[in-house]
Amino acid sequence: MIEARKIPWFERWFAGQVRGRLAAQFESVRVGGLEAFADAARTGPLLVVCNHTAYWDSLLAIALVTGTLRLDGYALMEAANLRRYPFLGRVGGFGVERDVPGDGERVLAYGAERLRGPGRVVWVFPQGREAPAQARPPVFRRGAAVMAATASAHARATGGEPVRWVPVAVAYVYGRDPRATVFMRFGAPRDVPADAGPDGFACRQAEAVADLLAALDDDVAAWVDAGTHALPAVIEGKRDRLGAALTWALGRLTRWGHVRRPRCSPNATPSGRPDAGRP
Domain ranges of the chain: 8-241
**Cβ pair 179, 23 in contact under 8 A:** no
Number of Cα atoms under 13 Å in the Cβ half of residue 247: 7
Which of 3.40.1130.10, 2.30.110.10, 3.40.50.2020, 3.30.1360.170 is the CATH number of 8-241? 3.40.1130.10
Q: Which has the minimum average pLDDT: 31-35, 140-144, 247-251? A: 247-251
Q: How far apart are CA 64 and CA 179, in angstroms?
A: 20
**Predicted local distance difference test score (pLDDT) of residue 81:** 87
SS (H, E, C) the chain: CECCCCCHHHHHHHHHHHHHHHHHHCCEEEEECHHHHHHHHCCCCEEEEECCCCCHHHHHHHHHHHHHCCCEEEEEEEHHHHHHCHHHHHHCEEEECCCCCCHHHHHHHHHHHHCCCCCEEEEECCCCCCCCCCCCCCCCCCHHHHHHHHHHHHHHHHCCCCCEEEEEEEEEECCCCCCCEEEEEECCCEECCCCCCHHHHHHHHHHHHHHHHHHHHHHHHHHHHHCCCCCCEEEECCCCHHHHHHHHHHHHHHCHHHHCCCCCCCCECCCCCECCCCC
% residues pLDDT > 90 (the chain): 72
- Residue 257 clears pLDDT 70, i.e. is over it: no
pLDDT at 139: 94
Q: Is the pLDDT of residue 278 over 60?
A: no
pLDDT at 206: 97
Max Cα–Cα distance, the chain, nearest Å: 107
Most confident range (mean pLDDT) of 76-85, 179-188, 194-203, 245-254 is 179-188
What global pTM score does this model have?
0.85
pLDDT band at 175; cut points 50, 70, 90: confident
* Mean pLDDT, range 230-244, rounded to an integer: 79
> Nearest-5° angle of CA 165, CA 96, CA 89?
85
Q: What are 19-30's pLDDT values in tens digits?
A: 999 999 999 999
* pLDDT of residue 279 exceeding 70: no
Q: Is the pLDDT of residue 70 over 80?
A: yes
**pLDDT of residue 97 exceeding 70:** yes
- Digit-coded pLDDT (tens) for 179-198: 999 999 999 999 999 887 89
Q: Give the pLDDT confidence score for residue 247 in this predicted structure.
A: 54
Stretch 73-101: mean pLDDT: 92
pLDDT exceeds 90 at position 134? no
Residue partners of 266: CB distance under 8 A and separation at least 6 = none
For residue 94, count CB atoms less than 10 angstroms from its CB and return exposed for 0-12, middle for 13-18, buried for 19 or more.
buried
Mean pLDDT of the chain: 89
d(Cα 31, Cα 140) in Å, to the nearest integer?
23
| pLDDT for 271 | 52
